[in-house]
Structure 1
């Protein structure tokens, strides 16, 4: 199974909050952490990593915080995964073995990983935000 690490999950949650306020200012770590129950210190480390990758930008001061560095339509989910997990972990190497069974397993696993990478390269942060909005609309109850 392809699993989503807590690092990537928390990073995506923070980025979705920044999509909400895109072009309207900055959001402070405390606000993001409280909304999603993410430890502030851990979130600060994630946001610093995302800043080094050019995905978010930061500003000091009372009206400071974090904001997206680029349009959410230009930020690909694969880029976020590589930034937070590193290329080696994000795209695991092929399993090599001397036995035909392990070779077959490695081949199928590699195809699975390539398919996952292709999907992540096809989705932007804006796409993820729109899916979130669709999910919220589906949870509305009318009386």
Structure 2
């Protein structure tokens, strides 16, 4: 198991796409993410995020290391966004952070391949533990 310090050093070089439509939540979570990541692209809805995801691939010839998204958003919700992203890159690492506790939505996410889901309000310890796990698996796959 790597130390948190080693993971954070590694994670600073990762490229993240973060999608959250609620301004307060977005600012609060973005501050937390900045402890881990130096390169965060922020979008406000799923449609904009999907366009950004495709643009990033075209301009950089690689995918985001991690996509962090909400479920309930205008234009394209988090579930549909994940489906579209997985069509483009089935290996994409995704973290869903949602206020939804509905089993149906969680089941839909699991069905399409999302394994990391956190409930809002996000507990710092859960977030750090989940991010550490995701960063470790990204590091192993590089």
TM-score by length of 1: 0.28
Rg (Cα) greater in structure: 1
| Structure with greater helix percent | 1
TM-score (norm 2): 0.28
